[in-house]
Amino acid sequence: MEDKIKKARDAIAKAYKIIVFTGAGISKESGVPTFREAGGLWEEFKAEDFATPEAFSRRPKEVWEWYRFRRDLARKVEPNPGHYAVARLEDARSDFMVATQNIDNLHTRAGSRNVIELHGNIMHSYCMKCGLLADESEAELPGEVPVCPREGCGGVMRPKVVWFGEQLDPDDLDRSYMFASEADCCLVIGTSGFVYPAAQIPFLAKRNDACVIEINPEPSGITQIADYFLQGPAAQITPQLLEENKYADGAD
Ligand code: BJW
Ligand code: ZN
């Protein structure tokens, strides 16, 4: 393992353009449950019950309750050493992007700047009728199913997240795909790699001959293309991988 970490570290040190692709596993040690493992969020709640537009139109009250619960949790928890290590790597790099599937805001709170939130952000909501966007404070709108605060609108507000069957923001997807296609290193942390189109990101990097490094306690849909699979929890392995990095762009 130590040898693998050293080699992966070298690949990062030599890279000019780095994309970090993350999923629920990076936030696990912060206390945010993942989706698909035993004990994950969907052990109790099935995806189809909550994370689809159909579920919201059938049971908006329950769906809002679930997202409020998760928003409160995301506010209470702190970024962990994994999030911080990723943010510190960006400090020393000029060509760097975090493309996250997480909606918990923890990368940004850890100090990451060039972050694309592919599946949205739980702190925001928007009106399904007029599109009005409510930021974090306004997201605390009254009512079990909040109604648009714009006078005379009366539209239903929903969390600003991407549900199954919905399109990801085309600009965000394009930018992350483009970045991945030009990257020479792709660090994949804590994702099952099952949910598309986001999971295409490491494959695009690999097509450009990028070095793919994965951190996960279990093999995932990405492991088959990983040059280095570093098996273990993100909060422990990520700082170990990145702390001794030379950090400078394309260092020999
Ligand atoms: C650790 C750890 C530790 C544990 N350290 N690691 C083929 C068949 C059927 C359907 C499809 C298909 N191909 C594509 C689709 C459609 C679908 C899809 O991909 N389905 C698959 C499940 C098959 N995709 C979509 O519907 C997407 N939209 C779309 O395709 O639109 C097309 C369109 C075009 C034009 C017009 C209209 C439409 C949208 C997908 C949206 C996903 N949304 C969710 C919910 C977001 C809001 C919310 O959070 O509530 O996003 S679903 C959920 O999955 C969430 C996550 O971001 C996403 C990914 O999950 P993630 O992060 O990988 O978590 P887990 O739990 O799966 O994995 C955790 C990992 O961590 C594991 O590997 C652990 O081992 C590891 N781990 N502890 C590090 N300590
Ligand atoms: Zn409105």
Closest CA to ligand 1's atom 24: 196
Long-range residue pairs from 144-153, CB within 8 A, at least 24 positions apart, any chain: 144/61, 144/64, 144/65, 145/60, 145/61, 145/64, 146/64, 153/127, 153/129
Residue 133 contacts by C-beta under 8 Å, 6 or more apart in sequence?
A: 124, 125, 126, 160
| Backbone phi, psi, residue 148, to 5° | -55, 130
User: Would the pLDDT of 215 be above 60?
Assistant: yes
Beta bridge partners of 156: 147
Give 40's pLDDT tier (boundaries 50, 70, 90). low
* For range 140-158, the mean pLDDT: 90
Is 39 a pocket residue for ligand 1 (Cβ < 6 Å)?
no
One DSSP character per residue, 31-81 reads T---SSSTTSHHHHS-HHHHSSHHHHHH-HHHHHHHHHHHHHHHHHS---H
Residue from 63, 161, 196 whose mutation best tests the ligand 1 pocket (most atoms within 8 A of CB):
196
* For range 181-191, the mean pLDDT: 98
Give 207's pLDDT tier (boundaries 50, 70, 90). very high
Q: What is the pTM (predicted TM-score) of this model?
A: 0.95
Is 112 a pocket residue for ligand 1 (Cβ < 6 Å)?
no
Q: Provide the percentage of residues in the chain whose pLDDT is more than 90.
A: 82
Q: What is the CATH number of the domain that holds 216?
A: 3.40.50.1220
Closest CA to ligand 1's atom 49: 103
Ligand in closest contact with the CA of 63: 1
Ligand in closest contact with the CA of 45: 1
196 with 206, same domain? yes
Ligand in closest contact with the CA of 148: 2
Residue 137 CA, ligand 2 centroid: distance in Å: 17
149 with 252, same domain? no
* Choice among 132-141, 206-215, 239-248 with the minimum mean pLDDT: 239-248
Q: Which entry of 83, 107, 119, 124 is annotated as an active-site residue?
A: 119
Is 34 a pocket residue for ligand 1 (Cβ < 6 Å)?
yes
- Domain of 150 in residue numbering reads as 33-76+123-161
The pLDDT, as a whole number, for residue 187 is 98
173 with 142, same domain? no
* Choice among 1-10, 30-39, 90-99 with the minimum mean pLDDT: 30-39
Tell me if residue 119 is catalytic.
yes
Q: What is the CATH number of the domain that holds 44?
A: 3.30.1600.10
Closest CA to ligand 1's atom 22: 195
CA distance 199 to 215: 15
Beta bridge partners of 134: 125
Number of domains in the chain: 2
Q: 88: which 2 tokens?
A: 């510190």
* For range 118-143, the mean pLDDT: 87
- Nearest CA-CA partner of 122 in 8, 198, 27: 27
